[in-house]
């Protein structure tokens, strides 16, 4: 029900690339057409952007690993999401992330050292593939499997962040499980667009509503009348993670989402990229507040100030990018008001 199966066969059993029966590169040419791609129903956040395969065997294993990776992510995320019992969700998450995936990544770390499968052997800028072809092929397959297992972990973890206390970032896999230097390239890149671009809506679909001066005072939380207390949770989470001043009043914080005039801006103690991402999520990504007709940055700079009392520069804010190391904390906080 929650098994890695084919990926386990590559790591532990009959699909190990160094087994004698799997050594002839020629046999994989005729097998390539047997591997059909799997299109997941779940929208994935990451993709594995690995080195290009260099022979039929690496092409075959790449197609096989990608197919199984997508199938497993799709199956497990659906399995957990469909269960209404939070305790059962936590059980599946713990079983998948802590037991299955972390165990296999530790095994891969040992295997890479024991069989000398360092990534440098298959870096096209540092090596050629006309010598030690079998060893380089084995390296390619195991290193690709490593990146794919990290992707699986991140996809599942990020889908259910609200249930996770100990969140892994990419660097943690190398320092805690693989015991390798943190690479400059993890071969994982995000597929979601992080740019703040207002969607263009046809006039026939939505009749433009004039934005009056008062509506530009602050954000208006769409669930304000039904779920106002969740703003307390958001405020506490932001304070806990040092994104806003620790002495921030919940009353003042709620005013930021009331649509009313702001007398005392909230002090944002995180960095500008974190502030950009916070506004991007509540306004553009999840649309948790009313439409401000592209004036969200003007309003954001009225509602929040920097620790030195200086306003943010809205022209610079909109050009910033998602903070890689702290994004999950902001995402987890905003989950509280969805």
Q: Where are the domains of the chain?
A: 6-190, 214-337
| Cα distances (angstroms) measured from residue 138 to each of 25, 36, 55 | 11, 22, 12
- Residue 274: its pLDDT value, please? 95
- Residue 1: its pLDDT value, please? 56
Q: Report helix, strand and coil shares of the chain as percent, to nearest 5.
A: 50, 5, 45
Can you tell me the distance from the alpha carbon of 47 to that of 40, in angstroms, rounded to the nearest whole number? Answer: 12
For each of the chain's 338 residues, which pLDDT tens digit applies? 568 999 999 999 999 999 999 988 888 998 999 999 998 888 888 999 999 999 999 999 999 999 999 999 999 999 898 888 888 888 999 999 999 999 999 999 999 999 999 999 999 888 888 788 999 999 999 999 999 999 999 999 988 887 877 889 999 999 999 999 999 899 999 875 444 344 444 444 443 444 444 458 899 999 988 888 899 999 999 999 999 999 999 889 999 999 888 889 999 999 999 999 999 999 999 999 999 988 999 999 999 999 988 999 998 998 999 999 999 999 999 999 99
- Residue 165: its pLDDT value, please? 76
pTM here? 0.59
Strand partners, 188: 48
| Cα distances (angstroms) measured from residue 209 to each of 105, 215, 287, 290, 291 | 53, 11, 17, 11, 9
- Residue 2: its pLDDT value, please? 65
Q: Are strands 46-48 and 188-190 parallel, antiparallel or unpaired?
A: antiparallel
Compute the CA torsion angle 325, 80, 186, 326 (nearest 10 deg).
0
Can you tell me the distance from the alpha carbon of 89 to that of 333, in angstroms, rounded to the nearest whole number? Answer: 19
Task: With beta carbons less than 8 A apart as the criterion, state whether 6 and 71 touch.
Answer: no
* Short-list 145, 101, 85, CA closest to 2: 101
Task: With beta carbons less than 8 A apart as the criterion, state whether 7 and 153 touch.
Answer: no
Strand partners, 221: 289
- Residue 86: its pLDDT value, please? 84
- Residue 85: its pLDDT value, please? 87
Compute the CA torsion angle 85, 89, 94, 96 (nearest 10 deg).
140
């Amino acid at each position: 029900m929650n098994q890695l199966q084919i990926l386990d066969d590559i790591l532990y059993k009959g699909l190990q690339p160094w087994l004698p029966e799997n050594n002839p590169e020629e046999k994989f040419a005729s097998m390539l057409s047997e591997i059909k791609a799997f299109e997941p129903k779940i929208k994935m956040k990451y993709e594995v952007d690995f080195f290009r395969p260099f022979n039929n065997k690496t092409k075959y294993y790449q197609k096989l690993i990608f197919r199984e990776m997508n199938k497993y992510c799709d199956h497990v995320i659906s399995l957990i999401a469909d269960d209404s019992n939070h305790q059962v969700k936590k059980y599946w998450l713990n079983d998948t992330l802590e037991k299955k995936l972390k165990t296999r990544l530790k095994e891969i770390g040992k295997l890479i050292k024991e069989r000398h499968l360092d990534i440098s052997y298959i870096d096209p800028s540092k090596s050629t593939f006309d010598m030690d072809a079998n060893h380089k092929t084995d390296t390619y397959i195991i290193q690709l499997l490593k990146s794919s297992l990290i992707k699986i972990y991140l996809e599942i973890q990020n889908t259910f962040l609200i249930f996770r206390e100990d969140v892994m970032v990419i660097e943690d896999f190398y320092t805690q499980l693989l015991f390798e230097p943190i690479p400059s390239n993890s071969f994982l890149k995000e597929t979601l667009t992080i740019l703040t671009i207002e969607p263009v809506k046809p006039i026939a679909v939505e009749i433009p509503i004039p934005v009056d001066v008062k509506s530009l005072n602050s954000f208006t939380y769409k669930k304000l009348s039904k779920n106002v207390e969740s703003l307390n949770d958001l405020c506490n989470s932001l304070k806990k993670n040092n994104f806003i001043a620790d002495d921030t009043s919940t009353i003042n914080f709620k005013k930021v989402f009331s649509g009313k005039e702001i007398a005392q801006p909230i002090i944002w103690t995180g960095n500008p990229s974190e502030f950009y991402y916070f506004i991007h999520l509540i306004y553009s990504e999840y649309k948790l507040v009313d439409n401000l007709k592209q004036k969200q940055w003007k309003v954001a700079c009225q509602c929040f100030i920097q620790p030195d009392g200086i306003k943010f520069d809205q022209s610079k804010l909109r050009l910033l990018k998602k903070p890689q190391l702290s994004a999950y904390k902001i995402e987890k906080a905003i989950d509280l008001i969805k």
